[in-house]
């Protein structure tokens, strides 16, 4: 079967990651780049594919069978909707929308057209995450009691020269970074029931938050805390501890996720599993072992899964509904931070447009 012809819409940082990935993944190929910036024209020339300044020009060309939407967040829904209406399957970067109202619009279009949507929560394709998911599903730690997720990174000042990254509706570490951690918590432990959150922009003084903390409860039981900042120094972030993107980030061997259950504890990204012998407790030594994980490029695995989804050989690992559910959690944290009140996800969903 011929390679799947994929257009990449948006040639920013994540768009270029997808463009490079398509040259490595099996069964897919870069068909075109869509971006109005002059640099995108040069990028397309280097990859020897057509460049289009806008989406309509791409659609008129008939050059692609599917598309990756990696444009600015506030364009995700109009671009994704137009592609779905045209019958083109999409890999849609997170967040899937810039508001819950827009997310509802996307859900309606996706449901009505029935065209496949894969959401770009790429970490689910990481061999480390797959190994952790198997272990948790098999009962290695038992029912969740508590989880702790930490993310500290110091983003450079010129990162915020891009206007949307300063916009509270589009930027900030909650939507850009923590939404991945929220997706993994839901992936491992099920739906989130309530959130209590707070945030601050005191360090940088920009309109968007730079630091956030939240307490989450789960419908099946258990508590989780998330603390993150993009204005703080430390090796405690998935980006620099997992080795997931060696071309962009250095690797530091530190844990960032701690999951504790009734039967054991698991940390990531080192895949350390800690358990007691039957009948033991805190006065006894714990047994430690590292879980086995395969190897492979996370983005390549995502691209190859996208091909399988488009060809009808697999269902999306991360659905449109997953992407929207993650947005609801982010919105609940922001509402809690603004009001000082605990927010129930069920209440938020009921009042969403």
Q: What is the pLDDT of residue 245?
A: 85
- Cβ-contact 323, 119 below 8 angstroms: yes
**Mean pLDDT, residues 60-82 taken together:** 96
19-51 confidence digits (pLDDT tens)? 999 999 999 999 999 999 999 999 999 999 999
261, β-bridge pairs: 144
Is pLDDT at 64 greater than 80 in this prediction?
yes
Span(s) in the chain for CATH 3.30.360.10: 124-296+329-338
Report d(CA 6, CA 10) in Å as an integer: 13
Tokens encoding 44:
């397309």
Q: What is the pLDDT of residue 352?
A: 56
Is pLDDT at 289 greater than 70 in this prediction?
yes
Alpha helix ranges (H) inside 2-64? 13-22, 38-47, 55-61
**Mean pLDDT, residues 273-281 taken together:** 96
Q: Identify the band that residue 350 occupies on the pLDDT scale cut at 50, 70 and 90.
A: low
Is pLDDT at 209 greater than 80 in this prediction?
yes
Q: What is the pLDDT of residue 137?
A: 98
Is pLDDT at 307 greater than 60 in this prediction?
yes
Three-state SS for 282?
A: coil
Is pLDDT at 246 greater than 90 in this prediction?
no
Span(s) in the chain for CATH 3.40.50.720: 4-122+299-318
Q: What is the pLDDT of residue 351?
A: 58
Report d(CA 229, CA 210) in Å as an integer: 6
Asked if omega into 185 is within 30° of 0 (cis), the reply is: no
Report d(CA 66, CA 4) in Å as an integer: 8
Q: What is the pLDDT of residue 41?
A: 96
What phi, psi does 5 have (nearest 5°)? -90, 115
Nearest by Cα to 324 from 154, 95, 76, 117: 95
Q: What is the pLDDT of residue 292?
A: 95
107-131 confidence digits (pLDDT tens)? 999 999 999 999 999 999 999 999 9
Q: At what angle do helices 13-22 and 38-47 cross, to 10 degrees?
A: 10
Is pLDDT at 283 greater than 90 in this prediction?
yes
Report d(CA 164, CA 52) in Å as an integer: 22
Q: Identify the band that residue 170 occupies on the pLDDT scale cut at 50, 70 and 90.
A: confident
Q: What is the pLDDT of residue 235?
A: 96
Q: Mean pLDDT for the chain?
A: 96
CATH fourth-level superfamily of 124-296+329-338: Dihydrodipicolinate Reductase; domain 2 (3.30.360.10)
The rounded Cα 133 to chain-centroid distance in angstroms is 16
What spatial distance separates the first Cα and last Cα of the chain, rounded to whole Å? 43
**Residue 92 to residues 37, 119, 194, 284, 336, Cα–Cα distance (Å):** 20, 5, 27, 48, 27
Report d(CA 236, CA 99) in Å as an integer: 29
- Strands, E, within the chain: which ranges? 4-9, 28-34, 51-52, 66-69, 90-92, 117-119, 144-152, 192-200, 211-218, 223-229, 257-261, 265-268, 272-275, 287-290, 343-344
Pairing of strands 117-119, 144-152: unpaired
Tokens encoding 37:
């910036």
CATH fourth-level superfamily of 4-122+299-318: NAD(P)-binding Rossmann-like Domain (3.40.50.720)
**Mean pLDDT, residues 313-322 taken together:** 98
Q: Identify the band that residue 164 occupies on the pLDDT scale cut at 50, 70 and 90.
A: confident
Q: What is the pLDDT of residue 68?
A: 98
Q: Identify the band that residue 344 occupies on the pLDDT scale cut at 50, 70 and 90.
A: very high
Is pLDDT at 1 greater than 70 in this prediction?
no
Q: Identify the band that residue 286 occupies on the pLDDT scale cut at 50, 70 and 90.
A: very high
Report d(CA 300, CA 276) in Å as an integer: 37
Three-state SS for 261?
A: strand
Is pLDDT at 353 greater than 70 in this prediction?
no
- Cβ-contact 326, 95 below 8 angstroms: yes
């Amino acid at each position: 079967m011929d390679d799947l012809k994929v257009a990449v819409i948006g040639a920013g940082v994540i768009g270029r990651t997808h463009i490079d990935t398509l040259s490595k993944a099996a069964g897919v190929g870069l068909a075109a780049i869509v971006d109005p910036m002059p640099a995108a024209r040069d990028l397309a020339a280097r990859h020897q594919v057509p460049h289009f300044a806008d989406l309509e020009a791409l659609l008129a060309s008939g050059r692609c069978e599917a598309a990756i939407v990696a444009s600015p967040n506030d364009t995700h829904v109009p671009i994704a909707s137009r592609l779905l209406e045209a019958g083109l399957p999409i890999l849609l970067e997170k967040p899937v929308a810039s508001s819950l109202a827009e997310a509802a619009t996307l859900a309606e279009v996706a449901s009505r057209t029935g065209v496949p949507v894969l959401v770009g929560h790429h970490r689910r394709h990481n061999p480390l995450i797959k190994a952790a998911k198997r272990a948790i599903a098999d009962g290695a730690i038992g029912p969740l009691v508590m989880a702790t997720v930490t993310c500290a990174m110091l983003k450079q000042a010129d990162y915020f020269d891009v206007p949307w990254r300063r916009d509270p509706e589009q930027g900030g570490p909650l939507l850009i970074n923590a939404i991945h951690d929220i997706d993994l918590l839901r992936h491992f432990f099920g739906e989130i029931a309530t959130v209590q959150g707070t945030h601050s922009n005191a360090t940088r003084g920009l309109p968007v938050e730079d630091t956030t903390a939240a307490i989450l409860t789960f419908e099946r039981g258990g508590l989780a805390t998330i603390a993150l900042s993009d204005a703080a120094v430390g090796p405690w972030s998935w980006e620099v501890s997992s080795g997931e993107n060696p071309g962009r980030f250095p690797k530091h061997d530190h844990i960032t996720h701690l999951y504790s259950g009734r039967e054991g504890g698991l940390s990531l990204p080192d895949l350390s599993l800690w358990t007691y012998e039957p009948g033991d407790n805190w006065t006894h030594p714990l047994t430690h072992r590292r879980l086995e994980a395969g190897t492979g490029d996370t983005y390549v695995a995502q691209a190859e899964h996208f091909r399988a989804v488009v060809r009808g050989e697999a269902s999306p690992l991360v659905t449109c509904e997953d992407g929207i559910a993650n947005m609801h959690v982010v919105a609940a944290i922001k509402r809690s931070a603004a009001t000082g009140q605990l927010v129930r996800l069920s209440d938020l969903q009921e009042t969403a447009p």
